[in-house]
Structure 1
């Protein structure tokens, strides 16, 4: 949907944008189902992997997959989320004081990363915050040409981020009930975000100061958590363990897998 908006949040949709609404709505409904399926598959495979030798959290293949997922999450934080946070919190629609005089984006990222050192299960928090934000972004989008690539990128992201989350949960050995709740929560957050976005698409004004500040702070916090967890809790823990350190071939494979995951997610930013 083509929208002309000023900083007061007033917006006027073009006739072409109105004509695209039914087609866009169909794509959004289809996106809810596809993203739900991709997320559930991604988080479920490593959790159920204990019954499948090659997908067991202690297997060599799983180490490669987890490294790829960590690369996806790292690129998500740096390439997809952090630039949006800077755009939100440095928008000319915000007042110069205080937004133009202090790097709030960097501050929130720093606080979120430090906070990650002292909260349990922060990976879930970072993923949930970001999943809701990107779900809402898809829901309020009005152009079918934009929605298609975004859905593909989102399904890819959900699957491999779910793999990373599921691998962490499998290795920590949470109780079955807690694992099921966390997996269900992850699977549902982005579809719920899309549904919320659809519901507010007619009243959402992306250039309003309130929307910019809220979305910017949430994006910055999400980026800080995702970057820290991917580098420290996932990559450092995996690459520094004795199994990889004693196996140069496996270590090289894991390193290449990280680069491949980060590269693929970075390339998706061009389309989405």
Structure 2
């Protein structure tokens, strides 16, 4: 046997040994069982606090939460979501789908990045279809829809909203109000019930990406051997991410019959990571976090979730809140710097947490 052949055989044997130790059947860590069970409830409490506190405090006047606190949470949370997409989802997806436990064909193409790209375009096409349909419905009702809020009298704090188009009826706003006899401008916004659809769609897309991520976070916490450090990091991770989601839920402008949507959204966020922890505790005797199946499933889910949050973060949060927001374009520089500082702080802190989780 030549030296080259012998070296090749040794490398193959080493690789097979590595696969048996790190990629075969196995189980998660069995230490800290009591604390892992307690983590289920602790993480649930912190997650729900982060997601529901903005919603509840905005609805309960006696809490006296100042308006600037909501603004801090809103922009800070946007930064958290953007950093989550790149640091906590896209990077793990690249690692998982590039794992040595996978067949060599997985290393011949950047599948994680491709799946992230597909996810971005899927969400983009879904939104286009939804807005085209919604705009057509509004147009039939005599309401001009502008997805950027341009031209709406008095400006807008929202990214989406209907714009009254009374000219189509051959009269101005004043004449329209007088015609109603009551001064009620509701007749100018017959398409208003469809505008919540855009808001619900946007928050649903955001939550879908976050929830998939949260389940895998919980699953990892239940079986990891590096439990204590990861537990502390995930408490802050889920609370900050919850504030980002909760601040968006709190600012949804919905009719009374849809008032339950923000509460349901906060509750869903609060229970997903505990569900992942419970599932991990149930299967940790047989679950192997380094197995081929785990790498493939986890990598695909992380890549898709990264695409969802990248699109949501860059388009729905950054672009709509800053570039297409009249208050930011024409408002004071102090307000703009404040909002940008909060967003950068959220992104920076969440990116720093990526060192441990």
* Aligned residue number for residue 100 of structure 1: 107
| Runs of 4+ residues deviating >6 angstroms | none
Kindly provide the CA deviation profile for residues 201-248 of structure 1, in whole angstroms up to 9, marking residues without a partner as x: 110122322111101000111111122212221222222322233021
SS in 1 for 2:85: helix
Q: 2:242 aligns with which of 129, 151, 162?
A: 162
2:230 aligned partner: 150
CA deviations on 1:98-154 (whole Å, 9 max, x unpaired) are x1222210111111112222152111100110000111011111x3xx222212221
CA contact (8 A) 2:80 2:244 kept: no
Give the structure-2-normalised TM-score: 0.66
Residue 21 of structure 2: aligned partner: 6
The CA RMSD over aligned residues, in Å, is 2.4
**1:205 and 1:113 mapped to 2: Cα distance?**
30
Tell me the TM-score normalised to structure 1 length: 0.85
What secondary structure is seen at the aligned counterpart in 2 of 1:94?
coil
Provide the residue aligned with 1:110 in structure 2: 117
SS at match of 2:286: coil
TM-superposed CA distance for 1:71, in Å, is 1.2
Using the alignment, how far apart are the partners of 2:306 and 2:337 within structure 1?
27
Aligned partners of 1:271 and 1:205: how far apart in 2? Answer: 20
Deviations along 1:54-89, one digit per CA (max 9) or x if unpaired, are 758xx4442232111111111111112211111110
Instruction: Please name the residue that 2:60 is paired with.
Output: 51
Equivalent-residue separation in structure 2 for 1:184 and 1:172 (angstroms): 16
Q: 1:17-57 deviations in whole A, cap 9, x for unaligned?
A: 6xxx34x212212221221111111111221214349758x
Secondary structure class of the residue paired with 1:161:
helix
Deviation at 1:255, TM superposition (A): 1.0
1:30 and 2:38 correspond: yes
Distance 1:65 1:158 in 2: 14
Distance 1:60 1:265 in 2: 21
Structure holding more helix per residue: 1
Q: Go from structure 1 to structure 2 and tell me whether the alpha carbon gap of 1:170 and 1:6 turns closer, same or farther (over 3 Å shift).
A: same
5+ long unaligned stretches in structure 1: none
* 2:259 is the counterpart of 1:176: yes
* Deviation digits for residues 143-172 of structure 1 (CA, Å, limit 9, x no counterpart): 3xx222212221212222222222222333
Structure 2 unaligned blocks of 5 or more: 1-17, 128-200
- Given that 1:46 and 1:55 are in contact with CA atoms closer than 8 Å, whether structure 2 keeps it comes out as no
Q: 1:66–1:163: 8 Å Cα contact kept in structure 2?
A: yes
Distance 1:75 1:37, change over 3 A: same
